[in-house]
Structure 1
Amino acid sequence: MHTQSLVRPSAPVSVSTLRVLGLAALLGSPAMLIEVYRHGLQRVANEDTDPLGALLYGLFSVGWLCAMIGLRHLHAAGYGKVGRALMNVVVVTVTLAIGQSVMDLLRVPTSHPLYMVTDLAWPLSMVLTFAVSVAALFARVLPLWGRLVLVFCGISLPINILVMVLTGDMIGGASFAWHTFLGWAGLGLVLLLARPGSEQFPAQA
């Protein structure tokens, strides 16, 4: 079977860089799960977020950012302008999402315009992660299992929206937290196992 390397030989990314980014994504992946169980599966309003909760959400979003940066290094969404632009945009929105944790720690009112921007960055980043997963399917830069992991992450919000349309309520709680844990841990493994320029990590299924 003909195979291709994960990224082109000229790609400026090292295995050590991917390992650091992958480890950060892996370590941050259970943070939302811990936060959900810490509150007995009950939803917590933004204005009631305590310092530990802010730190946990921040840890998850930093891991998310590292995963997106790693995927950008690997050209997961493709080598074209659209794929690169999509990866750049999602890096920006996830960075804004991290800002919400900072403002929660600083006790910035949830009505503050900047807080509302960072709050909006969360669902927007989820939507963009789904867009990245679709682009990755067509780009076929990642191996099949890596693309499926990314799709698993990307469908998190669409599934919640579908359930809300059908039932009037989002999944949330344990189901959503376990989904994010497994999905984002998977992204960490994609980066940890990536070997740029090696045929042992093929781009074709």
Structure 2
Amino acid sequence: MSSFHKWLLYALCAFGLVTSSGNLILAAKQPNIVFFLADDQRNDQLGCYGHPITKTPNIDKLAAAGTRFTNAFVTTSICAASRASIFTGLVERTHHYTFGTPPIAQDLVKNSYPAVLKANGYRTGFVGKFGVGFQGGTDQAFDFFRPINRGPYFKKQPDGTLRHTTQLAGDAAIEFIQSSGDAPFMLSISFNATHAEDGDK
């Protein structure tokens, strides 16, 4: 074997070792992701963004320990279209989804952030107000899907008690996280309580 071929063989072996160990390291370091969405919540209405009156200690702790965006924008002020943009990463004129339109096209759903994470080893979950339609259903993007419909914020439970949608979303989120075991997970949790109830006078 020529010295060039030996060198090439060693280089390929070394590259293979680096690549395979890099994948092991990458797999071991996949962070868990929790994406919070609150309807009609202005960023300046949170303590972590400096609001002088509103007290949001739990959100402030999450912001201090996680990622807090300081320069962001919305693609549209329309709820359904904005949610579709979050899922797909596309603007409304590209994904064509808003109130009264057909579901988000399946090719866009397959490339949505939850579907991409699911395809890359994440256990994916959604809890709360969904507000969009997925052509082909939600199973292609979410392993755990617990939507909470709009309507009154207090929902009657089987035992006759009333529970707020925020409590229901929190309970479902805990169930998802606890059932994920050691698998890396991504949870999208969408709260509706900051949105005025439709029909309020």
Task: Name the TM-score, length of structure 1 as normaliser.
Answer: 0.28
Higher helix share: 1
Higher relative contact order (CA 8 A, sep 6+): 1
Max Rg structure = 2
- TM-score normalised by L of structure 2: 0.29
Flag the structure with higher strand content.
2
